[in-house]
């Protein structure tokens, strides 16, 4: 059987696409579950008659493994709804393999990007949301979806579950320092938007990768990224060679090691983060979405 | 601002830290030399741009990336053409490291840019980056300014927003920034739109030119331009293969091990290979892991001759 291939063009990708990893599921409340393949993490909820699943994981095999994990945790209830946190294939690329007949909810910009991309296996949303805040009731489950503006990817929706005192935001803040090169982050308003979520009442944070944390861990994540942003500027204006990995890593480790060196992955990732973030200041942010009053070039030309 | 107001006397771009900003005012020597006909090129060693001698004044492309380098660029042009002030500035694209400081280069000059660039510049409000007075949105626009003829070409989405080439058909020369330059790509290919890059850049082969002046380092020939594009094109397969073989795009040591073993025999002698091949690979891997980025990264590339 040929797997849905996303954007892969090499036939050799079939085994990678088909592999079904072990999923670890954790019950967070009577109706709320978190699941991870060891790297990507997401949530699903038990409704009255169906399951509401956030995202799909990043290959057909992972999507199937996710479906099996849901079926094991909530037997007898089909996945009726999939909510895309954002457009990236590693999170929402394979609804065709998870729940091809489900209603799919996403932000408008996310839907536009998915339409343009045409990746095999990534299904087009059937219900598109516009705006910053959406209070939804789906199959007996109440939840709030929030998109304050560009943070990571396109149309990134966070989810707030007041009954569970839980907040979920994918590929924004992590409970560790394993951010790598911070692909498709939009830095201009990132910290402001992230701190805005602290106005809500929650004490458990579920990130889109790795381990969960609490409110203090989320705040520390904001502090960490903000500190890297500040130190990158200081390095830049004081002639640290910003184009070179080792000097930027060494500078930021020296400045931030005492405060944040205990975060898992700090030493392996701080150089990558620094290389990416310092170029925000060198180049000026990437695109109109990375300005103080963000918009998206050409978005109005795309119809869904 | 995180630490109080700037006390920097220079334009400060988008820096948010307080205090002095030493790099902004630092002087850099600018080297300059004639290219062909009325075209000159200028560089501080890493960045490169061009300027044109007109009948009464000069046309400067870009500004360099700090107030200090913008002033040094102005002084360099003034040394070559002391009686010919800069009356026109053309922005190659909107990034501050190339076009951030017209306020320090030539604050009274007329500025020309592509409409996409100018939209970003207007939204950015970066201190020292002036908005354009004239924009264009077509694929090709011809200009005859003060005796200088050139065409500005927007071939499609390549890097940044509204990144244009300047084509001088009479001199068989093209100037384009942050696309094809010698060696491997810069870091993680910051703000590149990979879906478009190779097919869009190949469109330039429909034009008659034999000298390509990039925004960094040194000019390249047409055959070298084709070789460099071949590297970019083959990286799509290397990016996929690295994922299939289990390389983590955020594992710095793993990325370097992979590029040393798999790409090194082919490209190890390329300029900056050992600095950036692993970062290039990481970015290509993301194209398959995440998909293209944003609207620009997912539109169908423009194809066909220019």
pLDDT at A143: 97
Mean pLDDT for all residues in chain A = 98
Determine the Cα angle at B252 with ends B248 and B258, to 5°.
Answer: 65
pLDDT at B133: 98
Residue B1 has pLDDT above 60, yes or no: no
Tell me which residue in B17, B294, B300 faces A234 most closely, judged by beta carbons.
Answer: B17
Give the gap in angstroms from C-alpha B92 to the nearest C-alpha of chain A. Answer: 13
Whether residue A215 lies within 8 A of chain B, CB to CB, comes out as no
* Interchain CB contact of B252 with A (< 8 Å): yes
- Residue of chain A whose Cα is closest to the Cα of B25: A237
ipTM above 0.95, yes or no: yes
Give the pLDDT band of residue A1 (cuts 50, 70, 90).
Answer: confident
Give the C-alpha separation, A51 to B79, whole Å: 72
| pLDDT at residue A219 greater than cutoff 50 | yes
Asked if A184 lies within 8 A of B286 by C-beta distance, the reply is yes
How many CB atoms neighbour CB A206 within 10 A? 28
The answer to whether A90 and B285 have CB atoms below 8 angstroms apart is: no
* CA dihedral sign of residues B62, B66, B70, B75: negative
0.90 cut: is pTM over it?
A: yes
Asked if B243 reaches chain A (Cβ–Cβ under 8 Å), the answer is: yes
Q: Nearest C-alpha of chain B: how many angstroms from A178?
A: 8
Average pLDDT of the residues in B132-142: 97
> From CA A284, how far away is CA B13, in angstroms rounded?
8
Contact A210, A265 (CB under 8 A): no
Q: Round to whole Å and give the CA distance between B110 and B115.
A: 15
- Separation CA A274–CA A245 (nearest Å): 8
Tell me how close the Cα of B81 comes to any Cα of chain A, in angstroms.
Answer: 30
Across the interface, whether the CB atoms of A298 and B295 are under 8 A apart is answered yes
Question: How many DSSP H helices and E strands does chain A contain?
Answer: 9, 13
What whole-number distance in Å separates Cα of residue A190 and Cα of residue A208? Answer: 16
Contact with chain A for residue B286, Cβ under 8 A: yes
pLDDT at B8: 81
Distance between the two ends of chain B, CA-based, in angstroms? 45
Judge residue B245's burial from the number of C-beta atoms within 10 Å of its C-beta, 0-12 exposed, 13-18 middle, 19 or more buried.
exposed
Contact A245 B275 (CB under 8 A): yes
Closest in B26, B124, B289 to A284, CB measured: B124
Instruction: Give the DSSP letter of residue A6.
Output: B
Domains in chain B: ranges and CATH: 22-178 (3.60.15.10), 234-289 (no CATH)
Split at pLDDT 50, 70, 90, the class of B3 is very low
The DSSP line for B242-304 is HHHTT--TT-HHHHHHHIIIIIHHHHTTSTTHHHHHHHHHHHHHHHHHT-S-TTTTTSPPP-S
pLDDT for B6? 63
Which of B14, B279, B299 is opposite residue A285, by nearest beta carbon? B14
pLDDT at B4 over 60: no
Cβ atoms of B40 and B55 closer than 8 Å: no
Please give the Cα distance from B219 to A50 (Å, whole number): 62
As a whole number of angstroms, the distance between CA B193 and CA B216 comes to 19
Phi first, then psi: give them for residue A122, nearest 5 degrees.
-90, 105
For residue A206, report the phi and psi dihedrals to the nearest 5 degrees: -110, 110
Does residue B189 register a pLDDT over 90?
Answer: yes
Partners of B188 on chain A (C-beta within 8 Å) are 181, 275-276
pLDDT above 80 for B7: no
**Is A181–B299 a contact, with Cβ atoms under 8 angstroms apart?**
no
Model pLDDT for residues B69-97, shown as the tens digit of each residue: 999 999 999 999 999 999 999 999 999 99
Count of CB pairs separated by less than 8 Å, A with B = 186
Choose the closest CB to A90 out of B16, B23, B289.
Answer: B289
Contacts with B47 from chain A: Cβ below 8 Å: none
Q: Taking CB atoms and an 8 Å cutoff, what residues of chain A touch B289?
A: 58, 88-90
Q: Do A283 and B237 touch (CB under 8 A)?
A: no
pLDDT band at B302 (very low <50, low <70, confident <90, very high): confident
A280: helix, coil or strand? helix
For the segment A143-170, what is each residue's pLDDT rounded down to a tens digit?
999 999 999 999 999 999 999 999 999 9
Give helix A245-260 / helix A266-283 axis angle, nearest 10°: 120
**Res B2 pLDDT > 50:** no
Residue B270 corresponds to which tokens in the numbers above? 């390329």
From A6, A180, A291, residue closest to B123, measured CB to CB: A291
Average pLDDT (B57-74) is: 98
pLDDT at A267 over 70: yes
Q: What is the pLDDT of residues A271-304, one digit of tens each?
A: 999 999 999 999 999 999 999 999 999 999 999 9
What's the rounded Cα separation, in Å, for the pair A46 and B2?
Answer: 44
* Cβ–Cβ under 8 Å, residues B70 and B26: no
- Average pLDDT along chain B: 96
Residue B288 contacts A where some CB pair is shorter than 8 Å: yes
Domains of chain A: 11-171 (3.60.15.10), 231-288 (no CATH)
Other Cβ atoms closer than 10 A to A263: 20
- Asked if B132 and B121 count as a contact pair (C-beta separation under 8 A), the reply is yes
d(CA B251, CA B282): 9
Is residue B5 scored above 70 in pLDDT? no
What is d(CA B287, CA B267) in angstroms, rounded to the nearest whole number? Answer: 21
Q: What is the pLDDT of residue B281?
A: 98
Separation of alpha carbons B13 and A7, rounded Å:
37
Backbone angles phi, psi at A74, to 5 degrees: -130, 75
* Contacting residues for B157 by C-beta, under 8 A, at least 6 apart: B163, B193, B196, B200, B296, B297, B299, B301
């Amino acid at each position: 059987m040929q797997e849905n291939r996303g954007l892969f063009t090499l036939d050799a990708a079939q085994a990678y696409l088909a592999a079904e990893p072990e999923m670890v599921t954790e019950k967070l409340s009577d109706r709320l579950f978190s699941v991870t393949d060891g790297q990507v993490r997401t949530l699903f909820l038990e409704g009255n008659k169906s399951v509401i699943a956030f995202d799909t994981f990043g290959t057909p095999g992972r999507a199937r493994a996710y479906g099996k994990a849901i079926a094991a945790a909530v037997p007898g209830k089909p996945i009726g709804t999939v909510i895309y946190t954002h457009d990236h294939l590693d999170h929402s690329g394979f609804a065709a393999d998870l729940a091809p007949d489900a209603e799919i909810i996403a932000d408008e910009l996310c839907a536009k990007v998915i339409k343009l991309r045409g990746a095999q296996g990534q299904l087009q949303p059937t219900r598109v949301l516009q705006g910053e805040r959406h209070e939804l009731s789906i199959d007996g489950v109440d939840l709030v979806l929030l998109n304050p503006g560009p943070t990571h990817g396109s149309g990134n929706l966070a989810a707030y579950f007041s009954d569970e005192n839980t907040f979920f935001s994918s590929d924004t803040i992590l409970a560790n320092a394993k951010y790598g090169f911070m692909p498709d982050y939009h830095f201009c308003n990132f910290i402001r938007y992230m701190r805005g979520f602290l106005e809500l009442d929650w004490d458990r944070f579920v990130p889109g990768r790795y381990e969960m944390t609490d409110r203090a861990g989320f705040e520390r994540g904001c502090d960490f990224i903000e500190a890297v942003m500040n130190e990158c500027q200081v390095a830049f204006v004081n002639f640290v060679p910003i184009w070179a990995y080792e000097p930027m890593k060494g500078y930021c480790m020296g400045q931030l090691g005492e405060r944040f060196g205990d975060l898992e992955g700090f030493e392996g990732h701080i150089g990558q983060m620094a290389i990416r973030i310092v170029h925000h200041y060198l180049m000026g942010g990437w695109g109109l979405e990375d300005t103080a009053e963000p918009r998206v070039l050409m978005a109005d030309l795309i119809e869904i | 601002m995180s630490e109080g107001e700037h006390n920097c006397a220079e334009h400060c771009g988008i820096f948010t830290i307080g205090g002095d900003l030493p790099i902004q005012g630092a002087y850099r020597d600018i080297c300059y030399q004639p290219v062909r006909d009325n075209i000159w090129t200028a560089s501080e060693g890493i960045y490169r741009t061009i300027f044109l001698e007109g009948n009464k004044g000069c046309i400067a492309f870009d500004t360099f990336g700090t107030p200090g380098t913008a002033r040094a660029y102005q002084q360099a042009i003034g040394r070559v053409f002391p009686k010919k002030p800069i009356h026109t500035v053309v922005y190659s694209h909107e990034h501050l490291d190339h076009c951030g400081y017209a306020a320090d280069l030539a604050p009274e000059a007329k500025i020309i840019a592509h409409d996409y660039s100018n939209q970003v510049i207007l939204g950015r409000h970066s201190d020292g980056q002036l908005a354009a007075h004239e924009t264009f949105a077509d694929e090709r626009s011809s200009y005859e300014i003060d005796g200088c003829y050139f065409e500005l070409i927007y071939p499609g989405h390549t890097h940044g927003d509204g990144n244009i080439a300047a084509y001088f058909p009479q001199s068989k020369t093209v100037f384009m920034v942050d696309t094809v330059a010698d060696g491997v790509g810069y870091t993680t290919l910051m703000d590149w739109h990979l879906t478009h890059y190779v097919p869009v850049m190949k469109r330039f082969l429909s034009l008659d030119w034999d000298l390509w002046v990039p925004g960094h380092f040194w000019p390249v020939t047409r055959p070298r331009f084709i070789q460099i594009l071949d590297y970019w094109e083959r990286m799509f397969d290397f990016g996929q293969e690295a994922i299939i073989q289990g390389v983590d795009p955020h594992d710095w040591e793993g990325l370097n091990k992979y590029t040393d073993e798999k790409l090194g025999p082919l490209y190890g002698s390329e300029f900056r290979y050992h600095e950036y091949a692993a970062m290039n690979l990481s970015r290509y891997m993301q194209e398959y892991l995440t998909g293209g980025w944003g609207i620009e990264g997912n539109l169908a590339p423009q194809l066909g001759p220019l």
